[in-house]
Amino acid sequence: MRRKPGLAGEPAPAYPVETLRHWYVTPFGGFSPELGLFQVGINREAIEKNTSLDPELDRVRVTVIGRVRRPFLFDRFFEVVPLDERHPDALRRSPMGEAVFPEGDLVLRPLESPHTGDDVVLSNVASARLGLLDSQTFARIIQELFRSHRDSDPENS
């Protein structure tokens, strides 16, 4: 994977690493009170150098490797927060591009919360594939898929 060079003598962030198109793997750096629920923080420089994520538009599906994955329709999507000097606590936990979760994540999934160093997958596939579909359009597509499947299989309706 190509990376933009950093300043001389300054290590460039090593993470996230794109393993498949729009799938990024990065270690978990810890929890921070500076992030809100359904936000994931990553060092701003790491986002710019190692990903094609646009924090203004993209939302990512977050999976901790080795933990239970929810079905796609029940999953939550996280806002990507570029960490810089405005988030000193969270930035401290993401020096090389590690993922930082909000402290509230411990409440949402107490048994499934990651430990520092666990690998995390940030998937931008849905955001990239669906583009700028608004939620009402997406809901109509899902309803039509369910309706057409139900009509073609009357035994299970």
pLDDT (0 to 100) of residue 5: 42
DSSP character at residue 17: E
What residues contact 21, with CB distance under 8 A and at least 6 apart?
125
Tokens found for residue 58: 């993209």
pLDDT (0 to 100) of residue 18: 92
Smallest CA-to-CA distance from 100 within 44, 22, 23 is with 44
Compare 137 and 114 and report the one with higher pLDDT. 114
Residue 44 has pLDDT above 90, yes or no: yes
Sign of CA dihedral 43, 48, 50, 56: positive
Residue 125 has pLDDT above 50, yes or no: yes
Mean pLDDT of 128-135: 58
Q: Measuring CA to CA, how many Å separate 96 from each of 15, 43, 47, 60, 75?
A: 6, 7, 10, 19, 27
Residue 105 has pLDDT above 50, yes or no: yes
Tokens found for residue 38: 């359904």
pLDDT tens for residues 60-98? Answer: 988 888 766 665 555 678 899 999 999 999 999 999 999
pLDDT (0 to 100) of residue 49: 94
Q: How much is the mean pLDDT over the chain?
A: 80
Residue 135 has pLDDT above 90, yes or no: no
> Could you tell me the domains of the chain?
17-129 (2.40.40.20)
Residue 51 has pLDDT above 50, yes or no: yes
